[in-house]
Structures are given as C-alpha cells and as structure tokens.
C-alpha cells in the first residue's frame, strides 16, 4: 500500500474525529470555567488528533519524518493523558474532603441532653406539683364545696404550665435538629 493511500485514510479519520477535538477545543477556550484535569485531558485530545493530521501531511511530503513525528506526538498525548488522570484523582479527593467537612454534625451547646428526658421530667414535675397543690389545698382546712373546685383549678393550672414548657421545649429542640445534618455512617 502506498503512503498516499495511508495519508488519505489518516486524513479522513482525522476529519471525522471532530466529534472529539471540537469539544476539547471548547474546553480549552473556557479556561478557568473548567477543572484543570478536564483542560489537561482536552489538551491531550488535541495533541493526539493534531499528531494524526501532521502525520497525514508528512506521509505525503516527507518519507521518513512521519515516524519520529508520530512517536513524539504519541508520547506527548500519553503524558498529558496520564497527567490529567492524576489531576482528576486529586480533584476528586479534594471534593470528597470538602463534602465530608460539610456533612459533619456540628455539636451545639446544650444539645447533649436528650429531649425525651427533658419532656418526661417536665411532665412528671408538673403532675407532682399539681397533685401536691391539690393535696395541700384540701388539707388546709375544712371548707365549703368550693375548696375542691379551687384545688382542682390551681393544680390544673400548674400541670398546664409544665405541659406548656414541655411543648415549647420539644418545638425548640425539633427546630434545632431539623437544621443539622446527620452524619453518614
């Protein structure tokens, strides 16, 4: 097979390779909008396709120069591609480290005590205080039928106060927990 036929085939393959080297050229022109690894990979793509184009021309013009040109272009393309892979791996590790820092749970002061315990203590204390108030009110002396009603109203008010505190605590604790992210395990 003559070199002219090989040059023609290589030129046709190089021309059809535009689906790879045109986007690579766009990546290089985007500069800082693309990651460094992507720009290096684009440079490797362009060097490989330009090597193929240069070799196609050298096959027609000079008989012996196409071999060292092809070897140099292939070496440059391989070196750039390896460098792009190393950069990509470094970027992925850095991104993973950043995501890990973002997903860490930040401890808040006062968040160490469980919310269930606080609610149970508030409800228990409210019921005990309400019962004690009713018992003391009744034991204070004999009275008319209205002492029972007053004792029940005062004890219900004390229980209601503690119940309100428990509900306020659960709502406050719930809002704080919704703002935090859970740590993946």
* The pLDDT of residue 147: 62
**How confident is the model over 60-117, as pLDDT tens digits?**
998 788 899 999 999 999 999 999 999 999 999 999 999 988 887 665 555 555 666 7
* Four-point Cα dihedral 133, 120, 166, 125, nearest 10: 20
Residues of the chain by 3-state class (helix, strand, coil), percent to 5: 80, 0, 20
Q: Is the pLDDT of residue 141 over 70?
A: no
**How confident is the model over 94-109, as pLDDT tens digits?**
999 999 888 876 655 5
Q: Which residues contact 138 (CB under 8 A, 6 or more apart)?
A: 147, 148, 151
8 CB neighbour count, 10 Å cutoff: 14
pLDDT band at 26 (very low <50, low <70, confident <90, very high): very high
* The pLDDT of residue 138: 67
92 CB neighbour count, 10 Å cutoff: 11
pLDDT band at 168 (very low <50, low <70, confident <90, very high): confident
* The pLDDT of residue 16: 94
């Amino acid at each position: 097979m003559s070199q002219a036929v090989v040059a023609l085939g290589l030129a046709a393959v190089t021309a059809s390779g535009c689906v790879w080297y045109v986007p690579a050229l766009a990546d290089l022109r985007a500069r800082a909008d693309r990651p460094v690894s992507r720009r290096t990979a684009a440079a490797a793509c362009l060097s490989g396709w330009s090597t193929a184009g240069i070799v196609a021309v050298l096959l027609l013009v000079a008989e012996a120069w196409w071999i060292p040109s092809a070897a140099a272009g292939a070496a440059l393309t391989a070196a750039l591609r390896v460098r792009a892979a190393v950069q990509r791996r470094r970027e992925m590790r850095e991104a993973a480290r950043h995501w890990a820092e973002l997903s860490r749970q930040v401890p808040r002061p006062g968040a160490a005590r469980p919310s269930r315990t606080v609610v149970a203590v508030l409800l228990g204390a409210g019921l005990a205080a309400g019962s004690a108030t009713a018992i003391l009110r009744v034991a204070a002396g004999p009275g008319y039928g209205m002492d029972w009603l007053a004792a029940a109203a005062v004890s219900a008010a004390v229980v209601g106060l503690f119940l309100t505190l428990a509900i306020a605590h659960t709502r406050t604790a719930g809002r704080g927990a919704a703002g935090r992210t859970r740590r993946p395990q």
